[in-house]
Chain A
Amino acid sequence: MRMLKRSLLLSLPLLAIYSWQAWGHHAFSAEFDKEAPVTLEGSVTKIEWINPHAWIHLAVVNAQGETIDWMVEGGTPNTLLRSGIHKNSIPIGSEIVVRGYQAKDKRCQPACKANGRDLTFADGRKVFMGSSGTGAPKDGSDPRESR
């Protein structure tokens, strides 16, 4: 009985850490705003093909005619390769459309940030560019998500 009490007592902080981590694991909600979906149409200015997340930089012309720099977070290079995107499949200057969600930090310093969900090439081909299981909204862009 004493042992049981003790192990229960010990497991409490572990449980606290676990539940905190479960929240922390949802990288999406920590940095991105599910209430701020964006559709970005622009030309690719730079690609950071890096772990743990690749970044695609876009120059997007807004309704006022200003060019806004966006950087869109994707999955890992590995996930992107598996969903059909390679570094060389998006040449600099190519026109793409990215759907995603803007960052909670909307200061746009030095560029506006977003989490990319899917990417449409000029030829109409659409691919999922995020990672599964990040806690992003289930908007149908992830072919592997359970509905």
Chain B
Amino acid sequence: MNQLIYAFATWLDTHSWSTQLHESFYMYNWVESTHVLALMVSLGLLFLIDLRMLGLAFVDIPATAIAHRLFLPMLIGFSVMIVTGLLLFYAIPVRTSQSLWFRIKVVLLIAAAVNAWLFHRRMQDAGSSAAGSWDLAVKAPRRLQIGAALSLIFWGFIVICGRLIAYDWFDCRGEPSPFVSTITGCIADQTQF
């Protein structure tokens, strides 16, 4: 698995566009700044939805109204965030794919995606249930609250991990301990970093 990831990353690294972005005077900075700004837009909106479900924000506005209205701008923010995120990975594929923080981040991203899918389905179920509308209630049904809380936790840690990718404490170049080395997928005698 780690061999495969390393092979893929080194292959990406041979692309001249990857190198050009990595060595660029402006583009990398623009991409990175856009990533962070898009994150503020999309997560800002997502957190508003989550906090409404938990009864902590805008309790006087129907929950589904908030969710539906913020959904599209949130999705646009997400798209920009994902595209710029992929570009950042493309610029520095080898080091990033072997970053402890990046690997934790990917696991959390998958968890957040599954959680979002479940949340979406539960909201549709809750909307069509005979139990009546919970729209005006301060708090959403329990199942949705759990989803909202998990979303806050997952994304909070995703942002923190993303920030920590910048630091080189566990980089393969620094020959970390065997345990860390296994998790980060350092390859014995690797020549590219």
- Chain A residues within CB distance 8 Å of chain B: 6, 10, 17, 21, 24, 27, 30-31, 49-52, 76-78, 81, 105, 107, 109-110
Contacts and interface: CB of A to CB of B under 8 A. Distances in A.
Given A6-B56, A31-B168, A81 B25 contact: yes
Given A109-B174, A109-B175, A77 B166 contact: no
A52 B25 contact: no
Given A51-B24, A77-B23, A110 B32 contact: no
Contact of A78 (B29, B92, B163): B29
The 5 closest A-B pairs by CB, nearest first: A51-B28, A78-B25, A109-B175, A49-B23, A50-B22
Contact of B167 (A6, A17, A31): A31
Contacts of A105: 169, 174
Contacts of B25: 77-78, 81
15 contacts: A10-B51, A21-B163, A24-B163, A27-B167, A49-B23, A51-B21, A51-B24, A51-B28, A51-B32, A52-B28, A77-B23, A78-B25, A78-B26, A78-B29, A107-B175
Interface of B: 21-26, 28-29, 32, 51, 56-57, 91-92, 156, 163-164, 166-169, 173-175
Nearest to B22: A50
Contacts of A17: 156
B91 A110 contact: no
Nearest to B19: A50
A131 B156 CA distance: 28
A126 to B, nearest CB: 22
Contacts of A52: 28, 32, 166
A110 B168 CA distance: 13
A24 B25 CA distance: 25
Nearest to B95: A50
A81 B166 CA distance: 22
Nearest to B168: A31
A105 B177 CA distance: 14
Contacts of A31: 167-169
Nearest to A49: B23
B56 A10 contact: yes
Q: Which of A21, A30, A51, A105 neighbours the largest number of chain B CB atoms within 10 Å of its CB?
A: A51
Contacts of B51: 10
Contacts of A10: 51, 56-57
A79 B185 CA distance: 32
A7 to B, nearest CB: 9
B159 to A, nearest CB: 9
Given A6-B56, A51-B29, A76-B29, A107 B22 contact: no
A105 B176 CA distance: 11
A110 B173 CA distance: 7
Contacts of B24: 51, 77
A110 B56 contact: no
